[in-house]
Amino acid sequence: MQENKLGESSYYKSKIASLSSLLIFILVVLVGFFIANFLGFVATLPFMDYDLEIMTKLMENPSNFPETRIAFLVMQGVTAFCIFILTSLIYLRFVDNTSLVKKLFISSNLSTVLLLLFVTVALTIIEMPLIGWLGEWNQGWVFPENFQNWAKAHEERMKELTIFITEFHTFEQFVLGFVVIAIIPGIGEELLFRGLLQNKLKDLFGNAHIAIWVSAIIFSAIHFQFYGFAPRMLLGAIFGYLYYWSGNLTYAMLAHFINNGFTVLMMYLYQQQQIEIDIEKEQIPLDMASMSLIIVSILLFLFYKIAQNVHITNINEVKS
């Protein structure tokens, strides 16, 4: 009886500690969010000749100021870097007091790494028809009237903003956009949502699968684009499993980077009239999405089996 009470006490203490850790993490992220937006605003001022009135108008409706596209991209880049990357690194160093490499990047032999990288690249490219079809299906979702009106208006505004920041007139603009849209989110969002939040939720719930899907839901919801909620949630879950199975955040980062970078590259090539495919307007047939789902499922299983073999090998090495 005494042992049971001690066990229960230890269990509840562990859950309270996990919840406290999660709340502290959320607080740090919220503080980082406000500081990051301020730094993004400050970084843009030189492009606006320090004119606060123009800056205010730019923030309200950037598409009305096409000449400020570079400035807006800089602001987005600085803000995203500070929120996702800098805040995460500060939290790991000064709050968790852990090594980034030891906590998030379990190593394995070179041949296994290359094989997992290959599967990750193939998986990310082949999943695109499935994600595209899911996005088209998501467009037909029906919400309560007031929420639906807000969601549609916000979706339209974000669509206009996306067109604004991805209208590249020079190669230099494309490179800047590629960094802001593909590289920073690929590294930073995975660091924060998978590397930190997913681990915190896993400690709290005691179940990795619940943690993966809850963090994927939060990852999608935080974008406030509910007519793209389903495909973004599925992507978040896939990234989560790539990290959970391998113990290495590199694969999730790579998948996220390819997903975003491929879209930006295709948009740029279309604008330069190098290709005839407008990726934003392509309709995905159901049979193509179904084939994508089948192959993606096979590749995920293959990734899991390879990663599990690495995990078993690591355990045996530790025991020996």
Looking at the chain, the whole-number percentage of residues with pLDDT higher than 90 is 63
Confidence at 317, pLDDT banded by 50, 70, 90: very low
Model pLDDT, residue 3: 53
Model pLDDT, residue 129: 95
Within 8 A by CB and 6+ apart from 59, the residues are 41
Phi, psi values for residue 248, rounded to 5°: -130, 120
Confidence at 5, pLDDT banded by 50, 70, 90: low
The stretch 280-302 carries a mean pLDDT of: 93
Number of residues that this document lists for the chain? 320
C-alpha separations of 320 from 106, 107, 316 in Å: 19, 18, 6
pLDDT for residue 221 is more than 90: yes
Express each pLDDT in 146-190 by its tens digit: 999 999 998 888 888 888 888 888 899 999 999 999 999 999 999
Confidence at 318, pLDDT banded by 50, 70, 90: very low
Model pLDDT, residue 220: 96
- Predicted TM-score (pTM) of the model is 0.91
226 within 8 A of 217, measured Cβ to Cβ = no
Q: What are the extents of the domains in the chain?
A: 2-319
Could you give the CA distance from residue 204 to residue 19 in angstroms, rounded to a whole number? Answer: 6
Express each pLDDT in 7-50 by its tens digit: 566 777 888 989 999 999 999 999 999 999 999 988 888 877 76
pLDDT for residue 237 is more than 60: yes
The stretch 55-60 carries a mean pLDDT of: 69
Express each pLDDT in 73-115 by its tens digit: 999 999 999 999 999 999 998 998 877 767 787 777 888 889 9
Express each pLDDT in 123-139 by its tens digit: 999 999 999 999 999 99
pLDDT for residue 319 is more than 70: no
Within 8 A by CB and 6+ apart from 122, the residues are 299
Judged by average pLDDT, the poorest of 102-106, 181-185, 207-211, 314-318 is: 314-318
Helix (H) or strand (E) holding 34: helix 2-44
Judged by average pLDDT, the poorest of 14-18, 212-216, 263-267, 285-289 is: 14-18
pLDDT for residue 194 is more than 60: yes
In our burial notation (b when 16+ CB lie closer than 10 A, e otherwise), range 207-225 reads ebeebbbbbbeebbeeeeb
